[in-house]
Structure 1
Amino acid sequence: MQHQKRIILYALITGAILMVAKFAAYFITDSNFILTDAAESIVNVVASAFAFFSIWFSARPRDINHPYGHGKVEFFSVFLEGALIMVAGIIILIKSVYNIFYPHQVQELLTGAIIIGITGIINGLLGFYMIKQGKKMLSITIEGDGRHLITDAVTSAGLVLGLVLIHFTKILALDSVLSIVVGLFILYTAYKLVRKSVAGLMDEADFSMVDEILKILNENRKEEWIDIHNLRAQRYGNELHIDCHMTLPNYFDLTRVHYEVSKADEYVNKFAHIKTEFFIHADPCIPQCCYYCRMPNCPIRSHEKTMDYVWDMERVAQNNKHFATEPSPVLQALNT
C-alpha cells in the first residue's frame, strides 16, 4: 500500500509542476488550444489528489460498518476522474467550435509547442508506468490515473501538431479542428473510465477474473469436489470476494468437509493474481450426482459415472447443482 501511495504522490507532484509549465506556455503564446490543455492539467492535479485519498482510505481495516473493507472507494475515485476528464473534453469541444467562427492571433507557437511537447512526454512515460503498476497491484485507481495521463499525453501530441501546422501554414482554423479531434478522444477515454467504475460499484461480474479462478479450480480439481454452483463474485479494491456452493460426498464428517473447503480456498489464493476471500456453502450429494461424480470406490454410488464436464462461468453461475434424472445422450454429448 505504501508503494501505491508513493506512485500517486509522484503523479500529484508531477501534475502540479506540469500545470505551471502549461499555463506559462499559454501566457507566452496566447493560444486558446494551449489554454484548454492547461485547464485539463488542473483536472490531473485534482484527480491525483482524490486518488491519493482513495488509496489511503481503501487501506483502512474492516470495521462494523464496512465488513468487506473500504476498497470500493477506488471505484468512486475512478468515477470522479472519468467525470472530470469528460468535463474537460466538453469544454475543449465547445471552445474549439467557438474558435472556428471567432479565430484570434497567436504568437511564439514553436516555443509553446516545445513546452507542451516536453510535458506530454513526461505524462506519457508516467502514465505507462502507472498503468503497468496498477495492473500489477490490481489497483483500479492507479491504472485509471495512468490512463488519464496517457490521454493528456495524446492531447499534448495533438496540440504540438496543431501549433506546428498553424505556425507554418498560418491557417488558424487548424487549431480548432485538431482540438475537436482531441476533444472527442478525451470524451471516449472518459466514457471508458466511468463505465468501468460504474461496473464495479454495481458489482458487475469481472469475467476475466472469474475465469482465472475457475481455471485454477479445474486444474486442481479433486475427486471429492463433485460440483460447484451458484457462484457469485464481488470485487472490493484489490480483493475479490466469492461465495458459492460446493457439493461433497454426503458421508463426509464436518472435519473432512472443512478440510476440502479450505483446500479450494488455499489453491485459489496460491495461484490467483488477486487476493480472494471464499465463502463456500457445502452441499451433500444426492443419487443424481452419481452421473458426473468422480469419487472412486464410493460406498453409496447408485449409478455409474456417464458424463464429465469442465466448470465454466455459465455452469457455476446457475443455482442448479443436480440433474433431476439421468441425462439424455444429447445432454451427455453437450457436457463432454
Structure 2
Amino acid sequence: MQINQNKLKQRLILLSFVASIVLTGLKFFAYYITSSNAILSDALESIINVIASGFAFYSIYLSAQPKDRNHPYGHGKVEFFSAGVEGALIIIAALFIVYEAVQKLMYPAPIENLARGSLFILFTILVNTAIGYKLLVEGKRTNSLALVADGRHLMTDSISSVVLILSVGLIMLTGYVWIDSVASILFGGFLAYNGFQITSRSVAGLMDAVDDVLLEKVVQTLRDNKKPDWIDVHNLRAQQYGSDLHIDCHLTLPYYWELQKVHETIHNFENILKSSHTGETEVFVHADPCLYQCCYFCRIENCPVRAHDFVQDIAWDAAKLVKNEKLYTEAKINIQE
C-alpha cells in the first residue's frame, strides 16, 4: 500500500509540473496580446508554479526512499523543506508583482485585446482548480505536506486569476486602466499571505512542533482501544514526516509480569497504533513497572499485589498523556477532592 501511495503522489505532482509549464506558456501569450500588467503578474507567478512543482516532485521521490545508514528516520522531512522553498518563492513572486504594479501605476501603458486574453486565463483557472483540488484531497489523505502545499498554490493561483478576470471586466466596462495595477497589488498581498502560511507550516514541521490534530488522533486511537492491562500511558510524542508517522511513549504494565508477556502486550499495543495510519508507522514503547499508587485507577481483575481498591478511571487526553509522569498524580488529586 505504501508503494502505491508513493507512486500516486509522484504521478499527481508530475501532472502538476507538466500542467504548470503549459499554463505558464498560455498566460505569457495572453500578456503578449494584451500588455496587461495583471496578466503579466499572473504569468510571472506561474513560473513559481513550475519551479515549485519540479522541486516538490523531487522531494516526494526522495521521501519515498527507504531508511538508510545516514537517514535512520527516513527521508520524509524533505517534504517540509520543499513546502518551505515553495512558500519562499511565492513571497518573492508577490514582492516582484507589487513592484511591477506600482511601476505601471506611476507610468501607465495602453492595454489591448482584453477579451481574447481573458479566454486564455479562464482556461487556466479551470485546469488549475481541478488539479489543485485533487492535490489537496490526496495530500491530506496521505499526509503529504508537499502535495498540500502545491495544491494550495494552484488553488491560490486560480483565485488570483478569478480576481484578474474581474479586474479585466471592470477595465472593459469603465475604461480605467489603473484598475489593472491596483488588482495586481491586491493579488500580490494575497499571494504573500499564502506564501507566509505555507512557510510557517514548513518551519514548524522542520522544528518538530507539536501537531495538535495528529496528537489528538493518536490519543483517540488509544482511548477507543484501551485495554485493562494498559495501566498508564505517558510521555507520548507523535511526529509526521511525509507519509511516515513516528510515535513513542511510556506504557505502564504490572511489575510482576514476565518479559514474554510484556513483549506480547507491547507488540499488540504497537499494532493498534499502526492500524490507525495508512502510511508507514514506527512505534517505540518504553515499558514502565506499575507502582502501588496506580492501584487507584488500575482495572486489572484479581491482581495478586493490589494495594488499594479501584476508585476511578482517569480520562486520557493529550494534555495528560504528553506529560513525562505517571497518571497516579492526577488520580491522587481527584481522590483528595
TM class by smaller structure: over 0.9
Post-superposition CA distance 1:282-326 (Å, at most 9, x none):
000010111111111111000111221121111111111153697
Distance 1:219 1:333, change over 3 A: farther
Question: Which residue, out of 285, 288, 295, partners 1:290?
Answer: 295
Per-residue deviation, 1:124: 1.1
Which of 280, 302, 309 is the matching residue for 1:304? 309
Letter in 2 for 1:14: A
Matches within 5 A, 1:266-285: 266-285=271-290
Match of 1:69 among 74, 91, 98: 74
RMSD of the TM alignment (CA)? 1.6
- Partner Cα separation in structure 2 for residue 237 and residue 284 of structure 1: 34
Deviations 1:86-145 (A, max 9, x none): 111111222222322222111001111111111112111110111011112221111110
Q: Does the 8 Å contact 1:243/1:278 carry over to 2?
A: yes
Q: Tell me, which stretches of 5 or more residues in structure 2 are unaligned?
A: 1-5
Deviations 1:19-72 (A, max 9, x none): 110110111011121111111111011011101100111111111110000010
2:328 and 2:276 map into 1 onto residues whose CA distance is 31
TM-score, normalised via structure 1 length: 0.95
1:78 to 61, 79, 83: 83
Structure-2 change in CA distance of 1:99 and 1:232 (3 Å): same
Partner residue, 1:319: 324
Match of 1:238 among 235, 243, 257: 243
Alpha-carbon distance in structure 2 between the residues aligned to 1:332 and 1:206 = 32
**Gap change, CA 1:267 and 1:324, over 3 Å in 2:** closer
Q: Which consecutive aligned stretches of 4+ in structure 1 deviate over 6 angstroms post-superposition?
A: none
Q: Tell me the amino acid that sits aligned with residue 18 of structure 2.
A: I
Structure 1 spans left out of the alignment, 5+ residues: none
Matched, 1:196 2:201: yes
The question of whether the paired residues in 2 share the 8 Å contact of 1:225 and 1:247 is answered with: yes
**For the residues of structure 1 that align with 2:99 and 2:258, how far apart are their CA atoms?**
69
Asked if structure 2 preserves the Cα contact closer than 8 Å seen for 1:33 and 1:175, the reply is: yes
Percent identity among equivalent residues?
43
Q: Which residue of structure 1 aligns with residue 191 of structure 2?
A: 186
**Counterpart contact for 2:17–2:53, Cα < 8 Å:** yes
Alignment correspondent of 2:3 = none
Separation in structure 2 between the aligned mates of residue 325 and residue 222 of structure 1, nearest angstrom: 19
8 Å contact 2:10–2:61 — kept in the other structure? yes
